[in-house]
Amino acid sequence: AMGRRKKGKKKGGDGGGDEDWEVGSEASFTSTSEAASFFSLAGGGGGDQDEDGLLEDQVLPAIAEALYEKRAATRERALDGLCSYLRSAYRYDELDRIRETIGTLLLRSIQKGKAKEQELAAYAVALAVVTLGPDENESWQDHIRALAQKATGAGPARARVACARSLGVVCFVGSEDADLLEHCVSRLERLFTSQASELRAEAYTSLALLLSVASVPAGSKIVARVLDYAETFADALRDPAVEVRTAAGSALVVLRETFGDVLDGDGDGDGDGGDLDSVVERMGRLANAAWRTEGEDGEAGDRMNKRDRQQQRRAFRELVEAMEGKESSSKDAKLKLKHGDVLHLETHSSRVAAGVFKSVLAAGFQVHMQTNDLLHQIFDFEPRQEKIRLTQLEKKMLFSPNSTAKKKHTKARNKDRAVKGNALNFFED
């Protein structure tokens, strides 16, 4: 008969594995149009009621209902709405009411969904953990295992990157199970040899995030482990992908900040990781690199394009400063927030953490930094409650084109243009 489709037959982009989502007649919920009315609110709407008449406290229950649907496209749309909803504001009270239901549904999406659904569910798990904070009952343990499995399994690199990033965030926020953390770290280490450069880079970044909060117990075992990491990160500085080289260099700086006493106490090691001076020297060469990468034994490697060369030189200049203990000149050391606040990130470890949370929260980073207690604790930040009010005279003194600051800025830009023009004329001659 027309309109019927045999069970198990795939069609278009509805996604496979839908048979695993059979929930019976008792779980048959409202239509897609009714259940999806929360998306206008989740996408940034305001007020207590959205344009389709759905109250704000009904948004998460509607999302949960949509996640029970058999159609993969509906679940993906619901997960996209959930991510937007959790990013748009700090939703602790709303999410806490149905945390078990949402947690179960997200775990199912990670385990049984296809690539797009896994990617969205992984980010939703990270956002839920950032919203709810550490959990004494360790209710996210199953999610951690599922994320670790999917990150190192088969599938598109984009979904695996999302799983690895979410895995780092969830473990960073609050898992106290030492065996589970060791399992996650071992899974991340497997990605060091992945064929996809974005996966290798994400593995180094997530591991650096976890190392930034690692304890430093005494004993020869931890010394050997730290030296192994240092050697692994140093070897990755020769990776053909610039994002991997940058992530490995960033992990080296975090390792130095966290385990500096261990590395300095064993600075006579035979490997590249043990000899910090040679590592810093290599990072310095990357900061002033010409057009070719550095291969084995310092030989010239593949040629870089202009964008990769600029990205590498800028990143490693900042990393060398951090490695040598100098004050950072990076623009990421100070993040401007609402109400005139400035988030000061004095250590490279804090800048790595901020970068990961910004990638997960996206545009919601600003509002979460103002209202999320977890982020206040992580970054030791206390937001200003009210916006700074300036008088008309103060605004004129600070922002007018005739102000002293603006005149200095204009003079400096004119000088830079003149210097650049002279350099161009020199090469033309």
Q: Could you read off the pLDDT of 298-351 as tens digits, one per residue?
A: 556 677 788 888 888 888 888 988 888 787 777 778 888 877 788 888 899 999
**Three-class SS of residue 303?**
strand
Full-model pTM: 0.76
Q: Where are the alpha helices (DSSP H) in 297-363?
A: 306-323, 348-361
Q: In this structure, how many other beta carbons lie within 10 angstroms of the beta carbon of residue 190?
A: 13
Of the given ranges (1-10, 95-104, 318-327), which has the lowest mean pLDDT? 1-10
Of the given ranges (158-167, 180-189, 198-207), which has the lowest mean pLDDT? 180-189
pLDDT of 31: 36
Q: How confident is the model at residue 429 (pLDDT cuts 50, 70, 90)?
A: low
User: How far is residue 246's CA from residue 9's CA, in Å, rounded to a whole number?
Assistant: 45
pLDDT of 406: 75
Average pLDDT over residues 85-96: 92
pLDDT of 399: 67
Is residue 395 predicted with pLDDT exceeding 50? yes
As a whole-number percent, the residues of the chain with pLDDT over 90 amount to 36
- Tell me the CA end-to-end span of the chain in Å, nearest whole number: 80
Average pLDDT over residues 117-129: 95
Upper half-sphere CA count for residue 59 (Cβ side, 13 Å): 31
Q: How confident is the model at residue 183 (pLDDT cuts 50, 70, 90)?
A: confident
* Selection from 158-162, 287-291, 325-329 with the highest mean pLDDT: 158-162
- Strands (DSSP E) along 244-381, which ranges? 292-294, 300-303, 334-336, 342-344
The answer to whether 238 and 294 are in contact (CB under 8 A) is yes
- Strands (DSSP E) along 214-332, which ranges? 292-294, 300-303
- Quick: pLDDT tens for 187-222: 899 999 999 999 999 999 999 999 888 765 555 567
Question: What is the Cα 361 distance to its own chain's centre?
Answer: 8
* Selection from 17-26, 105-114, 297-306 with the highest mean pLDDT: 105-114
User: How far is residue 138's CA from residue 245's CA, in Å, rounded to a whole number?
Assistant: 35
47 dihedral zone (left: phi>0; alpha: psi -120 to 50; beta): left
Q: How confident is the model at residue 17 (pLDDT cuts 50, 70, 90)?
A: very low
The answer to whether 203 and 165 are in contact (CB under 8 A) is no
Average pLDDT over residues 263-290: 68
Mean of the per-residue pLDDT values of the chain: 78
The answer to whether 118 and 76 are in contact (CB under 8 A) is no
Q: How confident is the model at residue 20 (pLDDT cuts 50, 70, 90)?
A: very low
* Selection from 22-36, 58-72, 170-184 with the highest mean pLDDT: 58-72
Upper half-sphere CA count for residue 418 (Cβ side, 13 Å): 6
Locate tokens 């992908």: which residue? Answer: 241
User: How far is residue 15's CA from residue 221's CA, in Å, rounded to a whole number?
Assistant: 47
Burial of 366 (0-12, 13-18, 19+ CB in 10 A): middle
